[in-house]
Amino acid sequence: MITRVAQKYDSVRTHIVHLSAADALPLIKLFRSNVGNRLTVETCHHYLNLNADEVPRDRVDFKCCPPIRDAANQTALWNGLKSGDINMVVSDHSPSTAEMKLLFDGPDYGNFMKAWGGISSVQFGLSLFWTNCAKHGLGINDLIRLMCEEPAKLCGFHEQKGKLAKGYDADLCIWDPSDEFTVTPDIIHFRNKANPYMNKQLKGIVHATIVRGQFAYKRSTSELFNFVGRLLKPKPSKHI
């Protein structure tokens, strides 16, 4: 349906969010041959890093919408990133309390039908993606394209965000791509800590983040700085 609308109305910019099913990629590729860059597609960290075969019984912290699929589907999504059929990778950060996730003992404990459907991953997105990049034939330039440049274009911030260049905001991430860490509750900065990555070993430690030239986070002190954001107004994009 989405691809048909994009084909019918040549002025419509169309973006497919949270692609989880790789079976849709041939159809996306077919319609993109007609509508070009007006059709863009994203997938999420949990679809690239988790598969249904690894979901333990009653572990409703793995529940999300659309659902996590099998290992073959996961590989096909990575191939979609390599081929350019998928334009970007996003967090789809969807936190919830342990009560909403039904992670406490009770009659509904582990009930996938009743538990909140969402996964928290925004803090670990860079490391989640980088951990498996090399295994799938991707590198640092792909990471920058998929997680910085393409999202900035989609949002209309392509002349302000997404790259290091004159006139762009000084948004920087200082990280060590070779060092590793384990996800544990004590290092999680988002409030509701339930997530399916607990105890996983990830590659690429973020030591600091800088937004518009100001520190927002320093790992050495576990400090989150109180800085004031600002409303951004996107510019019209020719990207899609």
Question: Looking at residue 240, what is its pLDDT?
Answer: 45
Tell me how many helices (H) and strands (E) the chain has.
Answer: 7, 7
Question: Looking at residue 239, what is its pLDDT?
Answer: 47
pLDDT mean across residues, the chain: 91
Say if pTM beats, i.e. exceeds, 0.85: yes
CATH code of the domain made up of 2-165: 3.20.20.140
Extents of the domains making up the chain: 2-165
Other C-beta atoms within 10 Å of 45: how many?
A: 24
pLDDT tens, position by position, 53-105? 999 988 999 999 999 999 999 999 999 999 999 999 999 999 889 899 998 88
pLDDT tens, position by position, 7-48? 777 777 889 999 999 999 999 998 888 777 888 999 999 999
Q: Exposed (0-12), middle (13-18) or buried (19+): which is 1, by Cβ within 10 Å?
A: exposed
Average pLDDT over residues 117-130: 95
pLDDT tens, position by position, 104-113? 888 999 999 9
Residue type for position 37: N
pLDDT tens, position by position, 142-176? 999 999 999 999 999 999 999 999 999 999 999 99
